[in-house]
Structure 1
């Protein structure tokens, strides 16, 4: 892992363990709790934002992350798929949550069912490249996310510029977002005031199409390898 390594001796180690951020030594691939909590958080944010937009008749800015229609795959199914095939660390999903929150600091941009999927895959890819030691190229991530390689490159670049390349996250911020996600388990989650939409994704690759790829070892850079 890169600059944001988790210290298992730190005061937040119990929280990290509860979220499934500390890797198991049993060698069994299990779905960490952070996936379901992030999915629940995003689903509730999308519902809230879409109701607000409908009630206020507000127009939102259409971005490259917007699709014409929402895909059939739920947010939870999509996040599970990314985790299964990307082999990224569970911490990437917390970092992706932070990056998405920074992205929505832009005015009149909202999280909805038309952009949430593209934003999830893009933010996870950026997070994996920033903190994981090994990761795949964009052509592989594009297959996992159900978009073309050209589109994956374009989404990543736009996302980075929207964040002004502010990818560094200190431990205090990371732990705060972990606590916010943990509140999802009791239904008292932190609410994002901005909106995100799901995109229309292309056909999903099957297992054979994404298996057999080898992760690359390199520092963070955008675009395909």
Structure 2
């Protein structure tokens, strides 16, 4: 049997220098663990969103990300900022959870939005939809919903993406990955926007400006995806669902009944 040392994968200090296939594995590992946790949470009618599918897609998150990378040539910053978007939405909408029913649609919507907002070159929605396995009409709806959920806050600092990268390596379930080398000099510019990788030059938005005397909390303190999720309050659990939510919930349950009966048989 091979030793753990021989299986070790050494990664560069800066996420920009990391091979994209390793980034894909790191992100997929984290998302798989997050989904495994959230899939145990009972699905509430008021928790339903446009990102919920009737059943979990057969393709794994890892293969889904590989497919996106292969056919859309997505940039590394767009992959990593998906994690920041998850944190944004979980903070703004505590009832939203990334599960096996929502993850794939969330990913393709995130890649579509971030590529358009941060990159010089990006694909058409027709291609993103085809790669994502959904209709272009559905992707258009998801894109608008996604932008509303993140309040159109498309950017973050390069420093924050670097923190996500470091934490992905630190928390990876296989323990195979390790960052080698000294601290990258690129990280010395904490206020540089993520557009740096795509070559865009744009003044920071008001949401990027921080108080000079107030240090920004680390990912360990603010992230809802690399630490335990924020608990749902009793008030949120007892909030009455709308008629539309109840109907959607009933339709989802009805679509799952044949599968449940087959398992019981």
Please give the TM-score of this superposition, normalised by the length of structure 1. 0.69
Query: Compared with structure 1, are the counterparts of its residues 116 and 186 closer, same or farther at alpha carbon in structure 2 (3 Å cutoff)?
Result: closer
Provide structure 1 residue ranges, at least 5 long, that are not aligned to the other structure.
1-12, 24-29, 201-225
- Do the aligned partners of residues 140 and 47 (structure 1) sit closer, same or farther apart at CA in structure 2, a change above 3 Å counting? same
Residue 102 of structure 1 contacts residue 163 of structure 1 at CA under 8 Å; is this kept in 2?
yes
Offset at residue 131 of structure 1 (A):
1.9
* 2:111 aligned partner: 124
Q: 1:139 to 1:178 in 2, by over 3 A?
A: same
Q: Distance in 2 between matches of 1:33 and 1:194?
A: 28
Gap regions ≥5 residues in structure 2: 1-10, 176-224, 232-251, 253-265
Computing the radius of gyration from Cα coordinates, the structure with the larger value is 2
Q: How far off its partner does 1:22 sit? A: 2.8
Q: State yes or no: 1:35 paired with 2:24.
A: yes
Change (3 A) 1:192 1:118: farther
What are the within-5 Å matches in structure 2 for residues 1-225 of structure 1? 14-16=12-14, 21-22=16-17, 31-51=20-40, 53-54=41-42, 61-105=47-91, 106-185=93-172, 190-191=226-227, 193=229
Distance 1:71 1:194 in 2: 26
Aligned length: 172
Q: CA deviation at 1:82?
A: 0.5
> What secondary structure does 1:72 align onto?
coil
What whole-Å deviation, never above 9, does each CA across 1:15-61 have from its counterpart, x for those lacking one?
A: 225xxx338xxxxxx7521100000000000101122x14xx86651
Q: Please report how far the alpha carbon of residue 190 of structure 1 lies from its aligned counterpart in structure 2 after TM superposition.
A: 2.1
**1:108-146 per-position Cα deviation (integer Å, ceiling 9, x unaligned):** 111111000000111111111122210111111000000
Higher helix share: 2
TM normalised by structure 2 equals 0.59
CA contact (8 A) 2:89 2:150 kept: yes
Q: CA RMSD of the aligned region, Å? A: 2.6
